[in-house]
Amino acid sequence: MKESPLFNPVLYKGGHITVLDETALPFKETRIKVKNLKTALSLLKEMKTRAFGQVLLFYYTLLLEARKNKINSPEKFSRLSTAITDKFSKARPTFAFGQLNNDLAKMLKAADNSKFIDLLEKSVFTYINLVQGARRYRVKLIAKILPHSARLLTHCNISGELVLLANEAEKMGKSVEFFATETRPYFQGSRLTAWELYQAGLNVYLICDIQAADILKRCRIDMVLVGSDRSTQNGDIANKIGTYQLAVLAKYFHIPFYAFMQPPGDTKNISDIKIEYRPKEEMLKFDGIRIAPKTQEALYPAFDIVPAELISGLVFFDGIYTPQELALKWQK
């Protein structure tokens, strides 16, 4: 089974960044060149890339700008990266770019002396390879606990991890069938998840977000599995809007709710997470067509908080934890 293009949607090669344009999927697979910070921020704001793609875009933009500005010392890089982190955070305020910057800073501290740019590049690629390895590992953890013929309900898009999961499950002699919610208003489910699963030859059914309760009632769903953009030390998560109601429905129907999680870093509880609100026009217009009168007031919160009490398991890079276990782990 081929890896999904969404597993590694942003590439850095020969000093250039290219971004898989997720807004053009599933009908076109095109890549956009990024030559500077301004373009990177523009792509980020327009959600040309998101989820793991924005992690890659962040790190590669740091590299790009460090080279452009001929940064030759950790101190100068620290000033540059702080400024870039600030700009990325303003563009997508829910995501923890500060945490990514801190993780890189730790690697740069620990590394040996050599030409700074080369050191930076080595650190970035080492970090990304570590994370990609961890992502490949954690899907095995979920595959292990799935039943023989598993049915998963998912929301938004988990950047290629569901394709990997199905691959690992197949090696274990298991099959996985997916139900993907469309994930309005950006349609990550319709355009990205359903597409990548279909392209990988997997069984996927696309449903409207509001059908979830009926599907959980009528179909035998074994697990609700989602990604997350943030997590807290308490074991809460933040993920795409629509995730919270799925968690409530899963609880109601006694179906386990699992989430792939990010390291919480300094995020202690949900009050530390800012929920991004996006322009209402993004939900009121589709492909140039207006869905409601121009004067209609609308609200588009882009993310949901899912409190720990609704979560059965958090899939971290080194194991699956209950929220209580995670909270203890983080206290140590």
| Long-range residue pairs from 243-247, CB within 8 A, at least 24 positions apart, any chain | 243/155, 243/156, 243/304, 243/306, 244/304, 244/305, 244/306, 244/310, 245/209, 245/212, 245/304, 246/153, 246/155, 246/181, 246/212, 247/306, 247/310, 247/311
Residue 191 CB, nearest approach to other proteins (Å)? 6
Alpha carbon distance 155, 164 (integer Å): 16
The burial of 218, by beta-carbon neighbours within 10 Å (0-12 exposed, 13-18 middle, 19 or more buried), is given as exposed
Shortest distance, position 138 Cβ to other proteins, whole Å:
26
Q: DSSP assignment, residue 255? A: -
145 binds other proteins (CB under 8 A): no
Token pair belonging to 316: 């971290």
Shortest gap between Cβ of 56 and other proteins (angstroms)? Answer: 25
Q: Least CB distance from residue 169 to other proteins, whole Å?
A: 19
Residue in 86, 118, 222, 229 annotated catalytic: 229
Stretch of residues binding other proteins (CB under 8 A), selected from 12-20, 84-92, 99-107, 203-211: 203-211
As measured in angstroms, the least distance from the Cβ of 174 to other proteins is 20
Span 158-187, contacts to other proteins by CB under 8 A: 179, 181-185, 187
Angle 260-266-269 (CA atoms, 0-180°, nearest 5)?
Answer: 70
Q: Which C-beta is closer to other proteins: that of 145 or that of 275?
A: 275
Contact with other proteins (CB under 8 A) among 300, 317, 319, 329:
300
Near other proteins by CB under 8 A, which window of 42-50, 113-121, 230-238, 296-304? Answer: 296-304
205 binds other proteins (CB under 8 A): yes
Q: Does 24 bind other proteins (CB under 8 A)?
A: no
Q: How many residues bind other proteins (CB under 8 A)?
A: 56
2 binds other proteins (CB under 8 A): no
Q: 158: which residues sit within 8 A by CB, 6+ positions away?
A: 51, 193, 225, 226, 227, 260
CA-wise closest residue to 68 among 92, 45, 39? 39
Q: Two tokens at 185?
A: 């208003």
Report the alpha-carbon distance of residue 194 to residue 183 in Å, rounded.
11
Q: Which of 260, 207, 205 is nearest to 230 (CA)?
A: 260
Show the site string, 207-246: x = touches other proteins by CB under 8 A, - = not.
xxxxxxxxx-xx---------------------xxx-xxx
Residue 69 or 296 with smaller CB distance to other proteins? 296
Q: Which of 304, 311, 321, 326 binds other proteins (CB under 8 A)?
A: 304
- Among this protein's residues, is 266 annotated catalytic? no
| Longest CA span, the chain | 61
User: Can you name the residues that pair with 176 across neighbouring β-strands?
Assistant: 150
Catalytic residues: 229
Binding site for other proteins (CB under 8 A): 26-27, 179, 181-185, 187, 190-191, 194-195, 198, 203-215, 217-218, 240-242, 244-246, 248-249, 251-252, 283-284, 286-287, 289, 291-293, 295-301, 304-305
